[in-house]
Structure 1
Amino acid sequence: MAYEHSERTGADDDTDDTALALKILVAGGFGVGKTTLVGAVSEIRPLRTEERLSRAGELFDDTGGVDRKTTTTVAMDFGRVTIRSGLALHLFGTPGQDRFWFLWDELAQGALGAVVLADTRRLEDCFPAVDYFEHRRIPFVVAVNRFTGARTHSAHDVSHALDLDRGTPVVLCDARDRDSGRGVLVRLVEYAGRMHTARLLDIDTVG
């Protein structure tokens, strides 16, 4: 299966409480809310690798539509959230700029699935992430981050605009809201689980 990490808790306890941790990526375009989502849902203080945007970076980074953004993730964000007893998710937020894409292959190793955050004002910014996960057959959901002032689009319209494979979930969310973010993650785990089971059945059938 994908990356699995067991955590033993309660070292002084007689019970063997071993939690399964699954690796999840949070991806999308520059300034779409990846760091915000990881920080909102994480039950630990999130690890962030943000640096201030510089004039030199303006030569490489497209900040159109996110003019107020002053920092950028240069490696990854990391957080952890417990979905239910015995199941935790390790969240890895990817950098959004093209010049940091070389990190994606390392971050994607062993991932159960991914959340692709989308901003309908700049929907084309998430095309590279969608293509990346589709080509590597990594299950993902598209989470439309509802920004103030942005037009409301239906999940069907977003799916059509992104030309998603049939069945790929599209959900609406607020990356700032903990419950909304957890809902996206639960949807991803359920979808990735179904995809993994279907692939195992295909293997057994062929075998």
Structure 2
Amino acid sequence: MQTTTLSFSNLHNHGELFANLFRARKQSFIVQQNWSLPESEDMEFDQYDTPQSRWIAIHDKGLILAGIRLTPTSARCGIYSYMIRDAQEGILGGSIPQDLLYDKAPVDAQVWECSRVFVSHAIPQAYRRKVHFAMVDAMTGSARDLGATQLIALTGSHWPRWYGRCGLTAAAIGPKMQIDDGEFQCVAIDLTAKMH
């Protein structure tokens, strides 16, 4: 199993990995979860897939096992910034509730948003825990390398059960809320404790 952090400046070094990550996102979010998202050439994408973001691919022999997108909360592209802030500002048209945070969404180069997190449904249950740990290591390591001291994410409300097991220090920064067929909550992941 390998982890690779992709950016627009290095994706040419990794062959089909970037495209395969977006194909795996389509499988996870559009096919499996039935989300209504943009797609083209069998790939899922959205307005936050810009050169400001980074994408973490967990892969093995060309197969995408899992993926994560990291976007700085200081990002701007046209009317968009990052998903959590844009939801709070009402830019997303209500697909995510505006009251998802207790406070105003941060705009800080040291705070990054973690989004489009998935694990392939094709991975056997016995192997998933190993993939989860690889995801956490890659996510925290890449975020620290980018200068982040904190990550924020809109995640399943069951996060307290597994964040601690994965060695993450996190706190709720918004209420639990129903979105589509699941319960979600915004959390902040502290990276300062993991810095050397």
Per the TM superposition, whether the score is higher than 0.5 is no
TM norm structure 1: 0.31
**Structure with the higher helix share, 1 or 2:** 1
Higher CA-based Rg = 1
Q: Which TM-score applies when normalising by structure 2?
A: 0.32
